[in-house]
C-alpha cells in the first residue's frame, strides 16, 4: 500500500477523487467536515466516472423527469418542455409557430456545441503556454476534434462562446416566455443578467451530457452512492485546523482537536480561499499568489427554500422566468445588493422516499446577493424571502399544502457549507475563469504552489455543474505525478 493521501471535503468531487485514488491502490483518508450527505446532486457525470467506479452496480440513479421543465403561461396553463424534442415543438406551436419550427434545429446545434465542451471537460484544461510535447499533442487533438465540426459549425461555436444568452436566443426565437425559460440556464448561479457577455457559454455548459433539447442539469444520487462504497477511510463531522507544510511540501493535516493525520499528498475539494488562505501558513505563499486567489470572482446570488408539503405539487420542475427583460430586472436588484422583488424561480419536486415521508419542493431563488446594501441575512430577512417565493408559486402550489418551510441564504451557505461568499460554484463560470484560466492560470492544472497539495473542487476545471469531473481529473493528475516520482 502506498503512503497515505488525505482528501478534504464531502462533496461529489472529493468523493470521486477519493474513490478514484483508492481504486488505484492508494491509501486514502477522507476528511468530511459535513455531517450529512445530500440525497441529490446536480450535474453531468462523466461516463468514465460511472465506469471506473462501477456506479451503476452500486445503485446510481440519474433523474430524467418528463417534462423536464414547465413554465406558466401568461393567461393560465403551462408550457411543458419534454425530453422528446418533437413533442416540445408541438407544445410550442400554440405559443409561436416559427419557434416550433426552429426548435429541432436549435436543439441539434446546441447538442453539437455541447459535445465540444464534453470533450474538453473529459481531460485537464489545455496548457496553451507549454512546450511539453505531450501537452502540445493534447492541444492538437482538441484543435483537430473541433476542426471536424466543419467551417460553418466551428464558426457558429466560436461566435457563441462570448455571446450573451439574450443575443443567442434573440437570433433563434420570438417568444418572450421561451427565451426567458431558456435564458435562465445562462445566468444560473451567476452575478450577471442575460444580456451579459459569456452567458451563452454558461447556458451551453449546463447542457453538456443532456439529451438534445434538455437545458437544465440532471440530478442523481451519486454522492449517496459513493458515501456507501468501501475502500476509503471517511471521517465525518471533524474540522480542519491547518494543512501542515515543511520545506515547501505537505506533511499532513491537523484537526481542531489537535489530531495530526500524516500524509504525503493532500487533495482538497474546498475552495482555493479556504485551502490556501485559511489552512496554509501564508509564509509559504508568494504575495502575487495570495492576490490572485483573493481576486477569484465568487459572488453568491442564490437562496434555497425547501417547502415541505402534504401532497404532490402537480409538477416535476417549474421555472418562473417570463422573459429576458424579467431576468435582467431581477439581476438589476442584485447589482445594487438588493434581494430581487420579482426573482427567477426554479422549483423541483422531490417525491417521498418512504411510506411516512412527506413531499418536498426545493426552490432555487435568484437573485439574492450574499452582500446586502442594507441589513443582514437575519431571520426576518429570510422569512421575507420565503414569503416572496411562496407568492411567486402561489398559482401552482396551494398555500394550504405547505406544512413547513426552510430557508438557506447565501450567508448560510457560506457558514455551513464553506461556499465562498455563498457561491455554490466556488468560482463563477465566466470567460476569464474558464478552461486554463479556472480559477487562475497558476492553479488550473490542479497542482498548487505547495508540493503535494492539489485542488479538486468546483472552482477547478471544468467546474460546478459537472458531477465529479474535477475530482476525476485531479485524481488522474495525482496518479500521473506519483508515477513520475517512483
Written as one string, the DSSP assignment of 166-202 is: HHHHHHH---HHHHHHHHGGGSTT-SS-TTSTTHHHH
Cell (9 digits) for 317: 420542475
pLDDT at 456: 96
CB 6 within 8 A of CB 263: yes
Alpha-carbon span 142 to 473, nearest angstrom: 16
pLDDT score recorded for residue 1: 47
What is the rounded CA–CA span in Å between residue 377 and residue 380? 8
Helix axis angle for 12-23 and 469-485, nearest 10°, is 40
- Residue 207: predicted pLDDT: 95
Query: Measured between alpha carbons, how far is 403 from 423 in angstroms, rounded to an integer?
Result: 29
Burial class (CB in 10 A: 0-12, 13-18, 19+), 44: buried
pLDDT number for residue 395 = 84
pLDDT for res 252: 95
Name the grid cell of 250. 505537505
From the options 2.40.50.140, 3.50.50.60, 3.40.50.300, 3.40.309.10, give the CATH code of 5-62+221-297+425-485. Answer: 3.50.50.60
Question: What's the farthest any 2 CA atoms get from each other in the chain?
Answer: 69
Q: What is the 3-state secondary structure (H, E, C) of 266-330?
A: EEECCCHHHHHHHCCCHHHCCHHHHHHHHCCCCCCCEEEEEEEECCCCCCCEEEECCCHHHHHHH
For the chain (length 486 residues), average pLDDT per consecutive 10? Answer: 82 96 94 80 93 95 93 90 95 94 95 90 76 60 64 79 95 96 96 95 94 93 92 91 96 94 96 96 93 95 94 91 97 95 94 78 95 94 94 86 94 92 93 91 93 96 91 95 69
Do residues 58 and 220 lie in contact, with contact meaning Cβ atoms separated by under 8 Å?
no
Distance CA 450, CA 252 (A): 12
Q: What is residue 399's predicted lDDT score, i.e. its pLDDT?
A: 82
What secondary structure letter does DSSP report for 346? E
Report yes or no: 304 and 348 within 8 Å, Cβ to Cβ: no
pLDDT at 131: 63
Interior angle at CA 77, CA 339 and CA 212, nearest 5 = 80
Give yes or no for a contact between 107 and 212, defined as CB atoms under 8 angstroms apart: yes
For 225, the 3-state DSSP assignment is helix
DSSP H/E element including 48 = helix 47-52
CA distance 69 to 177: 13
Q: According to the model, what pLDDT value does residue 120 have?
A: 87
3 state SS of 69: strand
H or E segment to which residue 113 belongs: helix 97-121
pLDDT (0 to 100) of residue 136: 57
* Residue 154 confidence (pLDDT): 74
Amino acid at each position: 500500500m502506498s503512503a497515505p493521501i488525505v482528501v478534504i471535503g464531502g462533496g461529489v468531487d472529493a468523493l470521486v477523487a477519493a474513490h478514484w485514488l483508492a481504486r488505484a491502490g492508494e491509501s486514502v483518508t477522507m476528511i468530511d467536515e459535513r455531517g450529512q450527505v445530500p440525497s441529490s446532486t446536480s450535474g453531468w457525470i462523466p461516463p468514465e466516472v460511472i465506469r471506473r467506479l462501477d456506479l451503476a452496480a452500486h445503485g446510481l440513479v440519474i433523474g430524467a423527469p418528463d417534462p423536464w421543465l414547465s413554465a406558466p403561461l401568461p393567461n393560465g396553463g403551462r408550457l411543458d418542455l419534454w425530453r422528446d424534442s418533437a413533442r416540445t415543438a408541438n407544445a410550442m406551436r400554440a405559443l409561436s409557430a416559427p419557434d416550433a419550427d426552429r426548435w429541432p434545429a436549435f436543439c441539434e446545434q446546441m447538442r453539437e456545441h455541447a459535445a465540444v465542451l464534453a470533450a474538453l471537460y473529459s481531460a485537464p484544461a489545455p496548457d496553451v503556454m507549454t512546450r511539453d510535447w505531450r501537452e502540445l499533442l493534447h492541444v492538437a487533438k482538441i484543435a483537430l476534434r473541433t476542426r471536424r465540426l466543419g467551417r460553418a459549425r466551428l464558426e457558429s461555436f466560436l461566435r457563441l462562446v462570448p455571446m450573451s444568452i439574450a443575443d443567442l436566443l434573440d437570433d433563434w426565437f420570438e417568444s418572450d416566455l421561451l427565451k426567458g425559460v431558456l435564458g435562465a440556464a445562462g445566468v444560473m448561479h451567476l452575478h450577471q443578467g442575460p444580456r451579459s457577455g459569456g452567458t451563452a457559454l454558461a447556458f451551453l455548459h449546463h447542457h453538456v451530457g443532456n439529451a438534445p433539447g434538455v437545458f437544465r442539469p440532471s440530478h442523481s444520487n451519486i454522492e449517496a452512492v459513493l458515501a456507501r462504497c468501501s475502500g476509503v477511510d471517511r471521517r465525518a463531522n471533524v474540522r480542519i485546523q491547518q494543512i501542515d507544510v515543511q520545506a515547501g511540501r505537505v506533511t499532513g493535516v491537523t484537526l481542531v482537536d489537535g489530531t495530526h493525520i500524516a500524509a504525503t499528498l493532500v487533495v482538497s475539494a474546498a475552495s482555493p480561499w479556504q485551502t490556501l488562505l485559511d489552512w496554509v501558513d501564508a509564509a509559504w505563499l508568494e504575495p502575487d499568489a495570495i492576490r490572485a486567489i483573493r481576486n477569484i470572482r465568487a459572488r453568491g446570488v442564490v437562496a434555497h427554500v425547501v417547502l415541505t408539503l402534504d401532497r404532490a405539487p402537480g409538477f416535476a420542475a417549474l421555472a418562473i422566468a417570463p422573459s429576458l427583460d424579467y431576468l435582467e430586472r431581477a439581476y438589476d436588484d442584485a447589482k445594487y445588493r438588493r434581494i430581487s422583488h420579482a426573482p427567477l424561480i426554479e422549483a423541483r419536486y422531490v417525491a417521498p422516499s418512504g411510506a411516512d415521508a412527506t413531499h418536498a419542493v426545493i426552490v432555487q431563488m435568484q437573485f439574492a446577493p450574499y452582500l446586502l446594501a442594507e441589513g443582514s441575512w437575519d431571520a426576518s430577512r429570510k422569512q421575507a424571502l420565503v414569503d416572496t417565493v411562496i407568492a411567486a408559486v402561489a398559482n401552482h402550489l396551494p398555500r394550504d399544502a405547505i406544512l413547513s418551510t426552510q430557508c438557506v441564504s447565501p450567508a448560510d451557505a457560506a457558514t455551513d457549507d464553506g461556499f465562498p461568499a455563498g457561491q455554490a460554484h466556488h468560482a463563477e463560470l465566466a470567460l476569464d475563469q474558464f478552461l486554463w484560466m479556472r480559477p487562475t492560470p497558476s492553479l488550473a492544472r490542479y497542482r498548487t504552489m505547495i508540493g503535494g497539495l492539489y485542488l479538486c473542487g468546483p472552482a477547478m476545471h471544468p467546474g460546478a455543474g459537472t458531477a465529479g469531473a474535477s475530482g476525476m481529473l485531479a485524481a488522474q493528475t495525482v496518479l500521473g505525478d506519483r508515477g513520475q516520482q517512483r
